Structure 1
Amino acid sequence: MIKEWQTDGIFLWLNEEVCLFQQYNTQFYTLGPTGTGNCGLLSDCFKTQIATAAAAAAATITVDDDDDITNGDYIGIQLDGGTIQWTTVNGVPAANVVTLTAVLTGAAAVDNYVFTYTNKISRPLKITEARVRDTDDVDTPLRIVTSRNEFMSQADKETTGRVLDVHYNPDITDGQLYTWPVCGTTDITDRIIMTVQRVIEDFDASTNNFDGPPEALRALVWGLAAEIGPEYGVDVVSGKGTIVSVNAEKYYNRLKRYYRQYDPVQIRP
């Protein structure tokens, strides 16, 4: 029932800000707990810079600030060749020195960027807004192409440059995000910031809490009553049992109105 509610788009409390770190010449990214895309909650994503030049095969790097870097974090290092190498942090950083699980595959000069995050996001159900953010944290809106046919009909999908369009397929386990143009070496430090709607968490044990606010509980209670009532011989269509279906609809509609998203309307002469 809860999963069906989400198709109405009412669960605004499930909206999250996420950050995708781009990869060179990559046309699509898989987003989710087992996805190949390096995508975390925006509040969990950080950047710093190389303080001391690191050579290829180096097992450690020295950064400007290690305050937001922890053991086990995913870490991406901008290499001089124009790509970002991803590995993990091996041990607690000390005095701004970060030990890497895999050695550098190329050199990293002073002021090259270093990105970190701790956990991959859960599979997004929908992307409601997207923008590209540069290293000065300046955002530029992106166009979300909802039509798969429109996006796939672009002639040259390997064009490199700063991303303009994105298309998202939620799939089942990990979602698929397509970008156009694909990331080139000059745009490798740009991040794609998105407002996404995550899938509501299952609660299938008595110890689980409802993944929602208190004001949604009455709609949940009456909705469940209407859902399982017939299994216990309650006629929710006629007779005394109709109060169940009436209240279920009433409180659900109240919840839907309360969590309705209002978009701005512009009127021009």
Structure 2
Amino acid sequence: MLIVLFALLLCWKISNVQSAPVETEVDFSSDRILDLSYTYDKNTVYWPHGKGYDTFNLTMIAYNEADPDKIFYRAGYYSTGEHGGTHIDTPAHLLRNGTDAENLEIQQLIGPAVVISIAEHIQAGHLDYALSPSDVSQWESQHGRIPDGAFVFLFADWGQRWPDRQRVFNVDDLSDYSHMRFPGFHPDAIQWLITQRDIRGVASDGPSVESSVDIASERMGTHILLAKHNRIGVENVANLHKVPATGATVILMPMKISNATGAPLRLFAVLPEQKE
């Protein structure tokens, strides 16, 4: 696994000599690899499309299970919607002829991570807070410039709600989109991050990169901007509280599914070396 990850990171570094002047040196002997993905099972939280698309189903078959003298064999068959658990939103999600999960370039799936916390806004009761350009500017004044080719993670401490669907969406009736409340990125912040910092994508530990306000109004400005600029969205990120504001590298490993607008995602962070 480490050899594969090293190869992916090497590919990313070589391909970004022109577009990303800030390179990340990764030493696997001292850095830590952190899984940022939730497990797929009966508790997985999906976007509530209904019609059976919001559940994970796994059926196992086994041969010679009870006979120790014969070769044991087992295989599973599963079905899942695209937009549940830790998953990726591709440009095809909101754009006709947008890039699907099959055609994402490897270089699009690796980059430095920055984590911007809005937890204090959530604690103050602003559950549908949308990250603004001024929030980004304030973050940069404390941590430095966001590097080109980065993934910007929104930390709302939403993981404490997982996997309670009613708490994740803040609504009793999951078909009632108009009363859901959860945070996301304001479209103005997305526009600025794309045009001024050339980010590769954004991610959230909540159920959407879009604030519930924009979803209820059916504007979907954040998703549309990401799609039009061929950027990636990642939703339901796990363990984000363990990732520092700067210094980590993330590796996205979505299922390569033809025509898919989204896909289950195994997401890793390579954390910086701990300072003694």
TM-score by length of 1: 0.26
Which has the larger strand fraction?
1
- Structure of larger gyration radius: 1
Which has the larger helix fraction?
2
Q: With a CA cutoff of 8 Å and minimum separation of 6, indicate the structure with the bigger relative contact order.
A: 2
